Structure 1
Amino acid sequence: MKSAVTQIRQGEKPKMSGKIIECVPNFSEGRRPEVIEAIVAPFRGRQGVRLLDYRADADHNRLVVSLAGEPGPMTKALLEACEIAVKEIDLNMHQGGHPRIGAVDVIPFVPVMGIDMKACVDLAREFGMRFYDAFKVPVYYYEEAANNPQRKNLEKIRKGQFEGLKTAIKEESRRPDLGPAALHPTAGATVIGARKFLIAFNVNLKTDDIEVAQKIAQYVRASSGGFCHVKGIGLVLKEKGMVQVSMNLVDFQKNALYRVVEMIRMEAARWGVSVAECEVYGMIPAQALLDSAAYYLQLNDFKPEQVVELALLGSGGEA
């Protein structure tokens, strides 16, 4: 499978109404097409659930699925997909560039329409119990659903990854929210939560020197004194012969894409390195792209309403 695949077909757009959430489950599989397709299958053509996008990357060895739908149908489809992932993915054999602690690594619920964050927190905790009861995979709650303020950040829960958590899970501060202080032997543990919309954004550099990517990631991420709403790590892209600054922008309105890109471009120049390309992994709000377009084109007083498609959507399709 290609490193970035969007699979949206005619006939796979079931109608939705009422409360709408977004969910972006991440699975630790990016190399076996048959397993990827099996995991995604429960989301296809399902009433109350829309498969927006899915992307599998061999270097990351990770599958990211973007969904929108109603809470009931969404959670039912998620359980079916998770059953396949738990059965087919053995983290003892898993190798990839992206941090992970579980075959089903993380499941965030995001309020979109007719539902607030509190309801998404309740949904995350209810789903966590159903998930644990079904698969006996320990569960950690994160972001707004965190029971422990020290566990709001995903990177703290995933510290040491699957291999390190095998022993660290016995420590009082690392015990899961659901389940015993022991990982599932092959599926590890799963992080489930509720959060705001984030943008998974990568900047690939024209070098194979991982130290450059790691240093730049350190400069841009909040935990090292960089942008306050950016998380980032440096990864090797063996297939492309490059390295990557892989990021999550958790508030694009406070830290715009173009600002992050220009910071990376400036820091890379110190090593005589240039930006090869950028990647949006999964879905992105139109406003985030328009902000960057307005910046680079130096547009004066540009408004989203000037985009034909957005204007039509805003008017219900009537010109």
Structure 2
Amino acid sequence: MAKESRLAASLCIISAARDPAVVERVTRAAVISRDGKNFPQTSVLNVFADHDYNRSVITIVGPLSKLGDPVVSACTEALNLIDLHQHTGVHPCLGAVDLVPVYPLAKDVGLDECGDVAETIGASPYVLNCNVTIDTAEMQVGQRIAASVRASSIGGLPGVQSMALPNKGRIEIACNLLSLPEDCGSAKEVPEDVSTSPACLEARVRELALSEGVSVIGCALVGLTRRQCRALAVKAIAEGIPDYWKLRQVTMM
């Protein structure tokens, strides 16, 4: 079994999902270099594509010193393939490559080191994406609920960043759940090791939705928890599987 030493993850978030061929080519660029060889000691663990958002999240993992090349390769391919003049989607869009945060997975990797690798990309503690869908198409209802659960609001939930977006004719409360510090005692007690668990988030959204006279359709995690990501990274690298996402069910929404 490979050690967890120096592991980090990058979420390559691209403004494409409706053309599976584009998502596939960008993902392959994170695995195979221009000379046709696999990037060493790295793997793509997961690909999550949302049709309404027209946005995909590609999870790339490896030792921090090896992560830069596959990430840059994927970003370059995305910039070559995605035409923002033709792009439509309900999620706010910053560019063909929307975000590329780098997260530490191992305790011996610091945020400052991730920042050095990421340079202008950005580094942050691990973030879990969790979306709760409510049974209404009224954006104002969703915006009120999103504002209520946001950590910056009075009475909001710890570590929650949120916004309301239309999705499949309903409203989705799209949330980032910030991870707890590795040395935080309660991190060991929460399966997802985040400040607010998906279950607590869903319960609070359900309560707020009920006060608005609407119900909750369901809750979905986008990608992997930090623990899942770390465990799968160790497995994929130890077994030499650069395209681990193919062994998992790719989520297309």
The TM-score bracket by the shorter chain reads: 0.7 to 0.9
Deviation digits for residues 262-316 of structure 1 (CA, Å, limit 9, x no counterpart): 11001100222111111100111459xxxxxxxxxxxxxxxxxxxxx9xxx9xxx
2:26 matches 1:30: no
Choose from 104, 114, 126 the match for 1:120.
114
Q: Does the Cα contact within 8 Å between 1:16 and 1:49 map onto a contact in 2?
A: no
2:200 matches 1:271: no
Q: Which has the larger radius of gyration?
A: 1
d(CA) in 2 for partners of 1:123, 1:194: 9
- Aligned match of 1:217: 146
- Aligned match of 2:96: 103
d(CA) in 2 for partners of 1:18, 1:267: 42
- Aligned match of 2:164: 234
d(CA) in 2 for partners of 1:247, 1:261: 11
- Aligned match of 2:63: 70
For the structure 1 residues 253 and 58, does the alpha-carbon distance in structure 2 shift closer, same or farther, using more than 3 Å as the test?
closer
- Aligned match of 1:295: none
The two structures have a TM-score, normalised by structure 1, of: 0.60
Amino acid at match of 2:202: V
RCO higher in structure (CA 8 A, sep ≥6): 2
The two structures have a TM-score, normalised by structure 2, of: 0.75
Choose from 196, 199, 204 the match for 1:258.
199
- Aligned match of 1:176: none
Superposed displacement of residue 16, structure 1:
7.7
Amino acid at match of 1:266: E
Superposed displacement of residue 18, structure 1:
4.7
Same amino acid, percent of matched pairs = 30
d(CA) in 2 for partners of 1:253, 1:201: 11
Superposed displacement of residue 259, structure 1:
2.0
Gapped runs of 5+ residues in structure 2?
32-37, 180-192, 236-253
Give the root-mean-square deviation of aligned CA atoms: 2.4
SS in 1 for 2:52: coil
Superposed displacement of residue 118, structure 1:
1.9
Deviation digits for residues 223-245 of structure 1 (CA, Å, limit 9, x no counterpart): 3332241111111113xx32100
Gapped runs of 5+ residues in structure 1?
1-14, 129-191, 288-308, 314-319
